[in-house]
Structure 1
Amino acid sequence: MPVVLFVCVHNAGRSQMAEAFFNQIAQERHLHARAESAGTEPGDHVHPEVAAAMRELGIDLTAKRPKLLTDKLIKESQRVITMGCAPDAAACPAILLRDVEDWALPDPHSQPLRRVREIRDQVRRRVLQLVEQIERTDIEDAPPIDQGD
């Protein structure tokens, strides 16, 4: 099954949201693909404000734990998307990987819930665009997602 890998530094916010949205939408649409997420310096837990914002949409992240980006995860992935690594290139060397697309999303950590909701909605829009592209083409050939929000 094709895999999309979402990467950020701590795997405690944006990449967790993207993985959850992708897997939910893919299941609803019977898309033969799944998502994973990981971080270059994984945190201890999903940010509480991120879990709260996702819970509002019926997605429970309480059992999710940040995990380390590994060579195995990268090799098993047909598409790698970083969630805002360009400004954090030193902490997120994943941006140096082959064929990486960066979505340049702000970090929701320590943001008020109102702002986390905005970021969550940006993540969802981009994941939906990605799923729609994958439905029309091969997962590796789908063009980069438009950065305009």
Structure 2
Amino acid sequence: MKKIGFICTGNSARSQMAEGFGRYFAAKLGKQVEVYSAGSNPAGFVHPLAVRCMEEVGIDISGYRSKSLDDVPYQDLDIIITLCGNAAENCPHVPGKDVRHWGLPDPAGAEGSEEQRLDAFRKVRDEIKIRVKDLIESV
């Protein structure tokens, strides 16, 4: 069974959405995959707009929690996906692992009205959906 970890800085938005899609596609495609998410500096909460935009596509992440690398089997992961969008973010480096960097912008930093911020979450969500589906299909 493959173990996949989605890692970002705060584990409040991108990695949570990726975990939700990973679990969804693993179940839908009948893949034997364990999916985790964690942050190098966990925010301590799952962003409400991440929960809301995932609900829009029928995936409930409201019960998820922000986790640190110590809360997941980090050293046992077969594939590590980092989702940090720029060099200012602190994504961990793990030598000797299959590490892939997706470099997506952090929607939690979006500004403007609630609708404008939600649109930022939707854009990142839709990109994560495509990438996670392709990843799960390939394992």
Quote the offset at 1:110 in angstroms. Answer: 4.1
* Residues 86/97 of structure 1: CA separation in 2 closer, same or farther (3 Å cut): farther
Identity among equivalent positions (%) equals 34
Aligned to 1:97: 94
Does the 8 A contact of 2:86 with 2:105 survive in 1?
A: no
Aligned to 1:62: 62
Q: What is the SS of the residue equivalent to 1:44?
A: coil
Does 2:123 match 1:118? Answer: yes
The 5 Å alignment of 1:1-149 reads 1-70=1-70, 73-84=73-84, 86-89=86-89, 91-92=90-91, 94=92, 96-98=93-95, 99=97, 100-111=99-110, 112-134=117-139
* Residues 49/71 of structure 1: CA separation in 2 closer, same or farther (3 Å cut): closer
Does the 8 A contact of 1:42 with 1:68 survive in 2?
A: yes
Taking structure 2 as the reference length, what is the TM-score of the superposition?
A: 0.87
Quote the offset at 1:70 in angstroms. Answer: 2.4
* Residues 71/37 of structure 1: CA separation in 2 closer, same or farther (3 Å cut): closer
Aligned equivalents of 1:29, 1:71: Cα separation in 2? 27
Quote the offset at 1:48 in angstroms. Answer: 0.9
Q: Which ranges of structure 1 fall in alignment gaps of 5 or more residues?
A: 135-149
Q: Which ranges of structure 2 fall in alignment gaps of 5 or more residues?
A: 111-116
